[in-house]
Amino acid sequence: DAGVIQSPRHEVTEMGQEVTLRCKPISGHNSLFWYRQTMMRGLELLIYFNNNVPIDDSGMPEDRFSAKMPNASFSTLKIQPSEPRDSAVYFCASTDSYEQYFGPGTRLTVT
Amino acid sequence: QKEVEQNSGPLSVPEGAIASLNCTYSDRVSQSFFWYRQYSGKSPELIMSIYSNGDKEDGRFTAQLNKASQYVSLLIRDSQPSDSATYLCAVIPYSGGGADGLTFGKGTHLIIQP
């Protein structure tokens, strides 16, 4: 079975540019989560969806961040404009119960 | 502010010994608890979940939960060099049902010495 799929795996961009991260959850999972991991702050929840509906976006750092889930098999996390402090690994996870399974992550570097 | 605390380590354990990893959490009504293993440069991998007080065993891994003390632990028996990784404790607070976001500790770096 395919796990959670994320793209791109690596992204290097310049400050001010728009960045879009993509995630395909495990088929049949109805909840999707976006997390960010940095050395300083560890793993932090940004936003999550249940049945494609955003439930809690209190972890989104600021208005530069937005996330969508147009259907059950696809979600995007967009940063516009990007800043160097957004550099981190962004993980997507999905579940059909309580146990969450993580994708491989996108390593974002903003110069 | 819901918090999950772990000793960052490194925790060094000789091969074949028992590794003991500990975690405390601040939200008394938390209901679901997880241990993830993360190798350097990789994503977190779920290795144990526990929902009720007591012990839960799966192969060489045993998770222990004490809700009264707000304490979760992970024991790894017969430690192998391949167990060397960062172990993340994660908690879901009571949410009334349905999935909810995980609150993670910073992780404990475990080193198994051959």
Q: Which are the contacts of B41, defined by CB distance < 8 A and separation ≥ 6?
A: none
User: Does the pLDDT of residue A107 top 60, yes or no?
Assistant: yes
Which residues of chain A neighbour B92 with C-beta distances below 8 Å? 98
Does the distance separating the beta carbons of B88 and A43 come in below 8 Å?
yes
pLDDT (tens digit per residue) in A63-94: 999 999 999 999 999 999 999 999 999 999 99
Does the distance separating the beta carbons of B32 and A42 come in below 8 Å?
no
Six-digit token string for A16: 């001010």
Whole-number Å distance between alpha carbons of B112 and A15: 41
Whole-number Å distance between alpha carbons of A39 and B55: 31
Does the distance separating the beta carbons of A43 and B44 come in below 8 Å?
yes
**Phi and psi, residue B81, nearest 5°:** -55, -30
A59, A45 Cβ separation under 8 angstroms? yes
CA distance to A71, B37, B38, B76, B81, per residue, from B84 (Å): 38, 9, 9, 11, 6
- Establish how many alpha carbons lie within 13 A of residue B63's alpha carbon, considering only the half-sphere containing its beta carbon: 24
Whole-number Å distance between alpha carbons of A106 and A88: 8
> Per-residue pLDDT for chain B (114 aa), expressed as one digit of tens each?
678 999 998 999 999 999 999 999 998 888 899 999 999 999 999 999 999 999 999 999 999 999 999 999 999 999 999 999 999 999 997 665 557 899 999 999 999 999
